Structure 1
Amino acid sequence: MTNDGNREFTDHDEALARAEAGVAALAAERNDRWYPRFHIASPGGWINDPIGPCRFKDRWHVFYQLHPYGTQWGSMHWGHVSSDDMVSWRREPIALAPSLEAERDGVFAGSAVVGDDGRMWLFYTGHRWANGVDDADGNFEVQCAAVSDDGVHFRKLGVVIDNIDRFPDFRDPKVWKQDGLWYMVFGMSTRDRRGQVLLYVSEDMRIWHFDRILYRHPNPSVYMLECPDFFPLKDKEGNESWVLSFSAMGERPNGFANRNHHNAGYVIGSWEPGEAFTPRTEFRMWDWGHNFYAPQSMPAPDGRRLQYGWMSAFVPPIPNQGDGWCGQLTVPRQIRLDSYGCIRSNPADELEGLRESTVTFAPFTLGINETRTIVEDGGAVEIEMEIDINHSTAEFGGLKVHSTSDNAHTCVYYDAQTHRILIDRHSNARGDRGYRAAPFTSNSLKLRVFIDSASVEVFVNDGEQAMTSYSFPSEGPQAVEISAESGTLDIPFLRVHHLRPIGL
């Protein structure tokens, strides 16, 4: 790629206007039966990876990959929302559309940061098909930048890192500042199809120099590491570790793990600027559900590390593609390192601001094969519950969500035989089925479950594990039930919060 890649092939303002019109046309015909109430989604079109996120001028900003002209993956743009409290969100104009030669066929994922000049900087991958053909072997990708004074309207700076060796997969820059220098990681695939993460360094955010291969995946079947993220976490004692997050393309199933088409996870290790990254853990999954991919994080002013993921839609059938929209982000999560060197992932504290009303149940025990309705129509609820495993005899027990009159539902169950939490979609009326199973280590079981119009997110034992899956219900009231199978289920604590919309 030469500087010709910075040449415009179309006016950016015109490209943005066309994209806005495309989203508006799809939104005007949108079917809202499964449209999320408290998750970020586009009003129309396809979305995937979260981008950014960042804090700029006292507002949270989240960007996402957007195809504004259809409900399948296509020419990528950057959608944009912002909030002052991470509870009520405002839709912003589309931030980026393809307009340079370097990005003719897509403005791919990247990151957002506040630069030394006080402006918001976007770093992203410019994508084009080398021969004008949609062919994975014909990818041509470079890293680009754009800047903004107001965090809404962006001016492109063009290519900042070239791809002189023409690697076909060379994308998704994540940028941060440390010790007076700027750093960037992004993923690539080598000529022999091995997934790597590259590290670059810069003094001014414009001129970047290759530093090293930060990480090469040990599994030869993993051919690409998408959407890398690299950040430090400290435990309560102040011990610091570095977390390298990536989405592994080509990872094969291993028992209960890596069951999805592509899988997002991380390794924990040590790193100092100018030195190699030294992993000390194996690849660990961020989320054990069916639909979690491409997570990205940001530091909060109070020191927390916040993260969003994409509820991936890789496996057909995808029922909402006929509804004028497709794809949503997860709820924001806060991730921390516990005293054992393990990551805990919990819903962000701000989500408590969504609670409109709360019902608390007295402790109870379900009899053998008993089912009890706890929410008559649970389109947007959060459930906090405990299961006393030592005083329960059920082989399976827990929640049936999106339960409708045709007996369709999704199970969020404890499995006594495997000592795992399941999201089981075998009784779904729509979409892909199958189940996922997450491990946990203790003899107690606490769950926080977020149920939206077509999704469920489960947090186990104060963030020991997380699970995210789509769940497309049938028409009519969608109850939440609690059930015991082949034994009794002891419930010492149960609380239901009804949640308000986020305003998009």
Structure 2
Amino acid sequence: MNIENMTTYDQSEQLARAEAGVEELFKSRKDRWYPVSHIASKAGWINDPNGLCYFQGRYHAYYQLNPFASVWGSCHWGHVSSKDLVTWRREPIAMAPSFEAERDGVFSGSAVISDDGKLVIYYTGHRWRNGINEGEGNLQEQCMAVSEDGVHFTKLGVVVPCPDDRILHFRDPKVWKQGGEWRMVFGVSTPEHRGEIWMYKSADMVNWEFDRPIYQHPDPDVFMLECPDMFPLDDKWVICYSAMGLSPKGFEARNHNNAGYVIGTWEPGGDFHQESEFHLWDDGHNYYAPQTFGCPDGRRLVFGWMSPFTQPIPMEDDGWCGQFTLPREVSLAGDHLRTQPIREFSRLDEDKREFGPIELAVNESRTLVTDSETADIEMEINLAGSQAERIGLELHRTGNGDHTLVCYDDQLERVVLDRHCNTYGDRGYRAAPLDKAHGSLKLRIIVDRGSIEVYVNDGLEVMSSYSFPADGPREIRLVAESGEGKAVIPSLSIAKLGTIWETPDR
């Protein structure tokens, strides 16, 4: 269809108002859990990664932002950028609602570079049907904006209108170029309330034609597939999505909504042929809405959002809420994906200390660090030579006994992240599967002020969870629990983490 300019509000005024909202919240922001090594908004609420790309010599990460409160609402696009994926700069807020189709929010989307060298954003314009909330569903359409510098955007209006008034969810476009043709996928809840991903195609980036439903979730209770992504990896194609309505089963899908992927094959003009089971991107408490993008060096990277929707959410009282995961490299590992911190992340390591090898007697514990807000921990456990039932680290341990335990649990034969001793926030545990055949376990654990990421055996499994320590110094303690004998740890190192921000106090 033709692009229609539908501007009804002054975009510059809306952006200025949003910047003022963030500044006002920032004045009273508390930093007890504010991240040092993860992307978060200066203040306000942050959710989905948007528009991830490399453009004009910088990496750009946009994100859903409420600049007026530390709860979800009033969706804008915040923006940070980096030359090296390590040190990040805060950029001006990129987009605010400014015309009728996006009256109630500039929702999620993606970025591509046009053939004439411009940055093109595709995103969802959002309105409430009843003008107030989701009680009667959404009115959503796919929109387009263009930028010469990645900072300032000109909106060009709706390019993919919703084709059926019975569709209540129609959002989150991901766009890429395939040969000489542009492709777009986004999530849909069909009139029958089935979660699907639809594909459109275009020759000119403006006029889009429906191709086909490229994927339908097999579970009829899954009514929407948010933030879909589709990308090649080696000789396969990956479709990922965030499933709404998926029921828990055993250790799987324990969160409110769950982000995962399937692997298969696809050729343009044909159907996607699924070859793997559904796998979670991350086994932790807080992971949602991942988006991938390609680096100039050929790597596929992914950012996820550490979703804090489970009550209580203690960050809400601190003037900010939500953060990204670390950027992770994605590679194919048989019928699932391996994700691990980008290789550049180690540049943030400071004051690295070696502690291994260590042997602990059964039920012995040992304090390694007496006060640690941040840590990059690398640890190996000799499973074949250990008899303790639980071997791991108590992190964020404070004087009142609060801590989060990351350990190998021999009864479960899984790696466990256990928050049952925390005063603040949601508790409970999550457990990642483990193949014991190698006889050893490698863990890399990234500890920030209010979060923990655990990478199992070079990222074959990952767990990302918030962990909100109580007041006081935060110890790191090595523990061995129960069983018939000792715990054997051949190597263990701990480094502090430097800040990712060009201007640390911002």
Same fold (TM over 0.5): yes
Q: Which amino acid aligns with 1:115?
A: S
- 2: CA distance, partners of 1:489 / 1:303: 41
- 2: CA distance, partners of 1:14 / 1:257: 46
1:53 counterpart residue number: 52
- 1: CA distance, partners of 2:368 / 2:446: 15
- 2: CA distance, partners of 1:379 / 1:210: 50
1:173 is paired with a residue whose SS is strand
Q: What is the aligned counterpart of 2:490 among 483, 489, 492?
A: 492
Per-residue Cα deviation, 1:444-491 (whole angstroms, up to 9, x for no partner) = 200000000000000000111000000000011111111000042110
Q: Which amino acid aligns with 1:320?
A: M
Q: After the TM superposition, which of the residue ranges 364-373 and 240-249 deviates more from structure 2?
A: 364-373
1:39 is paired with a residue whose SS is coil
1:241 counterpart residue number: 236
Counterparts of residues 5-404 of structure 1 (less than 5 Å): 6-166=5-165, 167-234=167-234, 240-338=235-333, 340-404=334-398
Residues 120, 147 of structure 2: 8 Å contact kept: yes
The Cα shift of 1:413 comes to 1.0
Residues 9, 104 of structure 1: 8 Å contact kept: no
The Cα shift of 1:109 comes to 0.3
Q: What is the aligned counterpart of 2:408 among 414, 432, 437?
A: 414
- 2: CA distance, partners of 1:198 / 1:159: 17
The Cα shift of 1:168 comes to 1.1
Residues 312, 425 of structure 2: 8 Å contact kept: yes
Residues 306, 464 of structure 2: 8 Å contact kept: yes
The Cα shift of 1:7 comes to 2.3
Per-residue Cα deviation, 1:14-50 (whole angstroms, up to 9, x for no partner) = 0000000001100111011110001000011101001
Per-residue Cα deviation, 1:381-430 (whole angstroms, up to 9, x for no partner) = 10000000111111111011100000000010111011100110000110
Return structure 1 stretches of 4+ with deviation > 6 angstroms: 1-4
- 2: CA distance, partners of 1:30 / 1:357: 28
1:22 is paired with a residue whose SS is helix
Q: After the TM superposition, which of the residue ranges 129-138 and 167-176 deviates more from structure 2?
A: 129-138
Number of paired residues? 497
The Cα shift of 1:180 comes to 1.0
2:17 is paired with a residue whose SS is helix
**1:298–1:136 CA distance, 2 compared to 1 (3 A):** farther
The Cα shift of 1:164 comes to 2.9
CA RMSD of aligned residues (A): 1.3
How does the TM-score come out when normalised to structure 1?
0.97
The Cα shift of 1:137 comes to 2.8
The Cα shift of 1:136 comes to 4.3
Q: Which amino acid aligns with 1:211?
A: D
How does the TM-score come out when normalised to structure 2?
0.97
The Cα shift of 1:202 comes to 0.7
Q: After the TM superposition, which of the residue ranges 478-487 and 91-100 deviates more from structure 2?
A: 478-487
Residues 112, 120 of structure 1: 8 Å contact kept: yes
1:13 is paired with a residue whose SS is helix
Which consecutive residues of structure 2, in runs of 5 or more, have no partner in the other structure? none
Residues 136, 168 of structure 1: 8 Å contact kept: no
2:192 is paired with a residue whose SS is coil
Q: Which amino acid aligns with 2:73?
A: G
1:369 is paired with a residue whose SS is coil
2:52 is paired with a residue whose SS is strand
- 1: CA distance, partners of 2:388 / 2:84: 42
The Cα shift of 1:273 comes to 0.5
1:237 counterpart residue number: none
| Identity rate, percent | 56
- 2: CA distance, partners of 1:228 / 1:138: 20
- 1: CA distance, partners of 2:440 / 2:117: 48
Residues 137, 169 of structure 2: 8 Å contact kept: no
- 1: CA distance, partners of 2:409 / 2:356: 24
